[in-house]
Amino acid sequence: MLYGADYNPDQWPEEVWDDDVRLMQEAGVNIVSLGIFAWSRIQPAEDVWDFAWLDTVIEKLHAGGIAVNLATATASPPPWVSARYPETLPADESGASYWPGSRQHFAPSSPIYRRLAGELVRRLGERYAHHPGVVMWHVGNEFGCHLWMDFSDAARDAYREWLEKRYTTVDALNDAWGTSFWSQRYGAFDEIFPPRLAPYSHNPSSMLDWRRFTSDMLLECYLMEREILLEAGATQPITTNFMGPFKPADYRRWAPFMDVIADDCYPDPANPHRVRDAAFQRDLIRSLKPGVPWLLWEQATDAVNWRPANAGKLPGALVAETAQSIARGADGIMFFQWRQSRAGSEKFHSAMLPHAGTDTRTWDAVTELGARLAALPELPAPGRDAQVALVFDWENWWAVEERDHPTEVDYLALVLEWYGAFHARNIQVDIVGPEEVDDTYRLVVAPALYLLRDDGAAALARFVHDGGTLLTGPFTDIVDEHDHFRDGGFLTQLGPVLGLRFEDFGALAGSAAGAAGVGALSPDAVLAARRAAAEGTVTFGLDGAVYRSRLVAEHVHATGADVVAAFDSGPRAGSPALTRHRYGAGEAWYVASVPVSGGPATGSAGDALGAVVATVVAASGVRPVVEGLPAGVEAARRGDLVTLINHGETRVEIAIDGTDAETGVAVDRVVLETQGVAFVTAPVAASPGADPSVAPVADVMPAAATVPLP
């Protein structure tokens, strides 16, 4: 287990470096990410290079048994770069320059930036590729974190080249962008500009390519550095730090070029959904490289500095959040940063070694965590432990959130809601692209898959045909990879699988919803339906209860599907809300609206999304990691390792047979205080009543009973 932090010794006089190494040893640190923002120290002027200080630091760390993840230091060009080469500066939508004085002030497609950065990387590579203390390379830093869209002239030129490579002829581009609309037909590639400030909406197909291009430019920077390191003889793993579900960069395209996936995660203590959101992030990161443990490359020991209000973590949350990463596949736990800065924008950001010193709650937590991680045995690789896959796709994210649609969709928020219904039930989920869906899963959930590529559609259809269960809708299968409607209407790919024909979107907007009849509801339900309609929701009945749903109430016709629930209110009253269709050996479910999530388990203000998920889960035979856990206890499986985390406010006791992974002692129950964590080695057991022929993945734990404590 790697344990450590970003280390910025260039912010400190040499006198503290020995102290740093000593305290790192005390905390159990075994790796640091070194020199991420050290370009101006390494190359103070174009023809001046200073590696002596870096040599000294690396030697000291190496002698102290601390491995180095050496940064390429290209994320913040020094002032001389911006002054001498202003063409390296990025521009905003209006063409105005971004200026230096912060960080990440470079145009990713600038050939001059790439030349200068490349030279720095080459020298670092040649000097340290064979240093025994350097065990990994950290390329750039959080590519695109502050600046993910550059509209500069460098971007313009690169965009034209990128488009020409993609389409070869301008006619092919005109077709792909549908430029017959609004007189947008291009005669040559050099008539094309980045989507700079325009009077009204840009062509949506061009916006999709612009998104692809901007992600690719960041990736090209990473790949350029990687290539240079390899040419310099580097044999260590090369990576960069991801930021979870980060819209500007399609990490699924990046992942094959990362030797190991590293991720930065900063759960917001003020976010009531922080546990769910962080779990999703970690599952997404794990799923980018199945079977390979990933590294939590940055988290905070306590408060950050960059939110409007920066509350600290709850007592114990540091261990609980760390455990969540390990549970979901991490083999490294790192922080930003080792020693708290004494100057600069991040001086209020927490660190492993706080400015207030070692007689602090933070230092205690950090040393305790180090000891606990050191006690862990070698952990199993995260396997295919999930029976459920949630489809999450960057191109779809970009397309579905373009403007001029029936209604605005917050794709990530929607995906998180769906994920949350599984997370709350401790049902393990992989996060995959549509093309990655295969029969190792039992249930696949695909919310708002507006842009559906042909291969993705084929994979989903095959999955159902071969016996899987698909749950999808609404706003799914609307456009192809160019953001064009396909011939033949909507649901052209999945309609036969779903047994549905799609007629209309039915966006819900405030009081317009619920205008039509309310059906045979009780007076209370009618009242609830009216209230709901005023909020832009409609209702549907499921298993004798009435639930609300929002965003859209689509008009679909069952052409083979069974109608499990119909809308009771709103413009679609009487038409299907939830359908189920047998297709091949499997089943496909469609929900024609977004069920409202949260609230009590039943009732018109109840957890509609939870009710739909529970229905489909029951039908598909999917099981949780551990049965019958009390609310607030999170469980995840990683091969033989089951991690239990109590996010609740009371102490719980959980019956589970296995071995305590930290002590090696056999257990039949664990007691968890609030924020308490247990790592239990508990080999996969056969699921009671499950048919192994339809349970191809690592399955479920023996049922655990909850014993309330006095």
Helix (H, G, I), strand (E, B) or coil at 695: coil
CB of 71 to ligand GLA, least distance (A): 10
- Single out the residue of 610, 502, 599 nearest to residue 555, CA to CA: 502
Looking at the Cβ atoms of 300 and 680, the one nearer to ligand GLA is 300
**Nearest Cα residue to 620 out of 429, 393, 432, 455:** 429
Q: How many residues bind ligand GLA (CB under 6 A)?
A: 9
Residue type, 113: Y
Q: Measured from the CB atom, is 20 or 298 closer to ligand GLA?
A: 298
- Rule CB under 6 A: choose which of 11, 104, 141, 593 binds ligand GLA: 141
**For residue 322, how many C-alpha atoms fall within 13 Å in the half-sphere facing its CB?**
29
Q: Check residue 304 for interaction with ligand GLA (CB under 6 A).
A: yes
- Residue 183 DSSP code: G
Build a one-symbol-per-residue string for 249-288: x at contacts with ligand GLA by CB under 6 A, - elsewhere: ---------------x-x----------------------
Active site positions, annotated:
142, 298
d(CA 612, CA 597): 10
Q: Closest distance between ligand GLA and the C-beta of residue 252, in Å?
A: 21
Residues 398-417 interacting with ligand GLA (rule: CB under 6 A): none
One character per residue 474-513, x = contact with ligand GLA (rule: CB under 6 A): ----------------------------------------
Q: Quick one: 351 or 449, whose CB is closer to ligand GLA? A: 351
Return the number of the residue (336 or 505) whose C-beta is nearest ligand GLA. Answer: 336
Q: What is the identity of the amino acid at 212?
A: R
The token pair at 610 is: 């939870």
Residue 321 binding ligand GLA, by CB under 6 A: no
Residue 202: closest CA among 212, 192, 190: 192
Rule CB under 6 A: choose which of 10, 150, 225, 298 binds ligand GLA. Answer: 298
Kindly state the smallest distance separating residue 59's Cβ from ligand GLA, in Å: 24
C-beta of 282: minimal distance to ligand GLA in Å? 16
The answer to whether 176 and 203 are in contact (CB under 8 A) is no
Determine the residue type at 329. Answer: G
Nearer to ligand GLA, 346 or 368 (CB): 346
Q: Is 442 exposed, middle or buried (0-12, 13-18, 19+ CB in 10 A)?
A: buried
Does residue 339 bind ligand GLA (CB under 6 A)? no
Q: How far is the CB of 266 from ligand GLA (least distance, A)?
A: 6
The nearer residue to ligand GLA, 298 or 401, going by C-beta atoms, is 298
Query: Considering beta carbons, is residue 297 or 567 the nearer one to ligand GLA?
Result: 297
* Tokens found for residue 669: 């129950």
Interface with ligand GLA in residues 348-367 (CB under 6 A)? 349
213 interacts with ligand GLA by CB under 6 A: no
Q: What is the 3-state secondary structure (H, E, C) of 90-128?
A: CECCCCCECCCCCCCCCCCCCHHHHHHHHHHHHHHHHHH
Considering beta carbons, is residue 142 or 402 the nearer one to ligand GLA? 142
Q: Among residues 242, 336, 418, 441, which is the contact residue for ligand GLA, using CB under 6 A?
A: 336
Distance in Å, CB of 92 to ligand GLA, minimum: 21
Q: Within 10 A of 305 (CB to CB), how many other CB atoms are there?
A: 14
Q: What is the rounded distance in angstroms from the CA atom of residue 442 to the CA atom of residue 698?
A: 11
Least distance to ligand GLA, CB of residue 335, Å: 9
Using rule CB under 6 A, residue 138 touches ligand GLA:
no
* Token reading at 292: 């390979």
What 3-state DSSP class applies to 688?
coil
Q: Footprint of ligand GLA on residues 32-71 (CB under 6 A)?
A: none
Nearer to ligand GLA, 35 or 370 (CB): 35
**H helices present in 168-203, as ranges:** 170-177
CA distance 220 to 110: 11
Strands 586-591 and 576-583: antiparallel
Nearest 10 degrees: CA dihedral of 54, 60, 65, 67?
-10
Q: Which is nearer to ligand GLA, 266 or 567 (CB)?
A: 266
- In this structure, how many other beta carbons lie within 10 angstroms of the beta carbon of residue 657? 15
The separation between CA 208 and the C-alpha centre of its own chain, rounded to angstroms, equals 20
Nearer to ligand GLA, 121 or 265 (CB): 265
Q: Helix/strand/coil (H, E, C) string of 290-353?
A: CCCCEEEEECCCCCCCCCCCCCCCCCCHHHHHHHHHHHCCEEEEEECCCECCCCCCCCCCCCCE
Q: Rounded to 5 degrees, what are φ and ψ at 663?
A: -105, -20
Separation CA 245–CA 247 (nearest Å): 6
DSSP state of 556: E
Measured at the alpha carbon of residue 333, what is the angle toward residues 328 and 335, in degrees to the nearest 5?
A: 130
- The whole-angstrom separation of Cα 696 and Cα 439 is 8
- Establish if 446 lies at the interface with ligand GLA (CB under 6 A): no
CA dihedral angle for residue 277, residue 278, residue 284, residue 287, rounded to 10 degrees: -140
Q: How far is the CB of 254 from ligand GLA (least distance, A)?
A: 16
Rounded CA separation 262/239 (Å): 7
CB nearest ligand GLA: which residue?
Answer: 336
Residues in the chain: 710
Residue 142 contacts ligand GLA per CB under 6 A: yes
Cis peptide preceding 474, ω within 30 of 0: yes
Smallest gap, in angstroms, from Cβ of residue 25 to ligand GLA?
A: 24
Residues in contact with ligand GLA, shown as a per-residue x/- string from 14 to 33 under the rule CB under 6 A: --------------------
Nearest distance, CB of residue 102 and ligand GLA, angstroms: 11
Token pair belonging to 375 = 């006690």
> Minimum distance from CB of 41 to ligand GLA (Å)?
16
CA gap 542, 591 in Å, rounded = 12
**Shortest approach of ligand GLA to residue 306 CB, angstroms?**
6
Is 260 or 303 the residue whose CB approaches ligand GLA more closely?
A: 303
Can you give the binding site for ligand GLA, defined by CB under 6 A?
141-142, 264, 266, 298, 304, 336, 346, 349
